[in-house]
Amino acid sequence: MGAGPCFCVARDRNKPGTMPPGERLCVRSMAGDVLLSARRSEASSLKVSELRERLASQAAQQERGQIALVISGKVLGEDMTLGSLWPAGRSLDVQLVVQAQEWTPELPVMYPQLTVPSANTRVALPVEDLEAGAFTADITGINGAALLTVVVDARGSIEVKLFGEDAVVARVTPELAVFRQDGSHVGTIAVDDDEYRLEGEGGLKILAMAPEPESAVLIFTSMYGGQLEKCAKVLPPGPDTSPPDHFLVEVMPSVDTVLILACFLARVVHLLNSDDD
């Protein structure tokens, strides 16, 4: 494998550069110090994501921080190439910004067998069972075949099992802590008015659940590709769901269905218990 572009680290930001205008990449810190410099011929083919990797050590000491590259106040997309951003006849000035990290960069996986990479996954839950305090209900696929069974006891503990088996694939405690089948902790759900958030270590947000404005549809959001995106939704029983007396849970590709179900069930049980108080 050949060597990559040769980047120069500038030692004095006030010292005039030796590269002619329009042929220089200059990456500066928030304080204005030049962190990296390179010729256009060396840097124009790089993607923003590759430049970020080269600059990662600049934020190594920043706790819970992540690097963003900015031009004129606009954060650059990961797949952009530097050549496409280069202004004609001028140098390319980029600023490195260390942002406070509030979200985990990707969703955890609880049960890979129900994490479909190339298509949405749809499952249904009977509303009548979910309105009871303690209940057992089967979760079915769109073809009506039972996939999972959820068991909720009087204390509000939740177990999601494989249908017809004792194998538990997810567990939620009355304190809204979510665990995998091997007992490892995924996160704990925090409640803030209508929003329920699954939070991980250090309080980082994993996903959020909140009703769609002026709608009964519950929307799940998470971080994907550096942006907040919808990762799942739950439609209330009605003409748009099948069967019509079931909640319809629709999960986006590559998102763990068991994770979404565990969080949705935790929200349902918490709301039921809150109404009883």
Does a structural domain hold residue 8? Answer: no
Q: Establish if 11 belongs to a structural domain.
A: no
Based on the fold, state whether residues 208 and 174 are members of the same structural domain: yes
Q: Is residue 223 part of a domain?
A: yes
Listed in sequence order, the DSSP H helices in the chain are 40-43, 48-54, 82-85, 127-130, 257-276
Task: Compute the mean pLDDT over every residue in the chain, rounded to the nearest whole number.
Answer: 84
Across the range 37-63, mean pLDDT stands at 77
Q: Are residues 209 and 159 located together in one domain of the fold?
A: yes
In-domain check, residue 207 = yes
In a domain, 13, yes or no: no
CA distance 145 to 166: 18
Whole-number Å distance between alpha carbons of 66 and 121: 31
Q: Which of 47-56, 112-121, 249-258 has the lowest mean pLDDT?
A: 47-56
CATH code, 239? 2.40.160
pTM: 0.68
Same domain, residue pair 134 and 261: yes
Q: Do 47 and 84 sit in the same domain of this protein?
A: yes
Q: Is the pLDDT of residue 268 over 80?
A: yes
User: Could you say which of 99, 131, 164 is where a domain stops?
Assistant: 99
**At 113, is the pLDDT very low, low, confident or very high (cuts 50, 70, 90)?**
very high
Domains contained in the chain, number = 2
**Structural domain boundaries, residue 220:** 112-275
Instruction: Give the separation between CA 175 and CA 210, rounded to whole angstroms.
Output: 19
123 shares a domain with 198:
yes
Residues 87 and 125 in one domain: no
Asked if pLDDT for residue 74 goes beyond 90, the answer is no
Residue 135 · residue 257 · CB < 8 Å: no
Residue 107 lies in a domain: no
- Shared domain check, 198 and 86: no
* pLDDT over 70 at 275, yes or no: no
Do 229 and 129 lie in one domain? The reply is yes
Please tell me whether residues 255 and 142 are part of one structural domain. Answer: yes
User: In the prediction, which pLDDT does 62 show?
Assistant: 44
Is 132 in the same domain as 78?
Answer: no
**Residues 164 and 38 grouped into a single domain:** no
Q: What is the mean pLDDT of residues 91-111?
A: 85
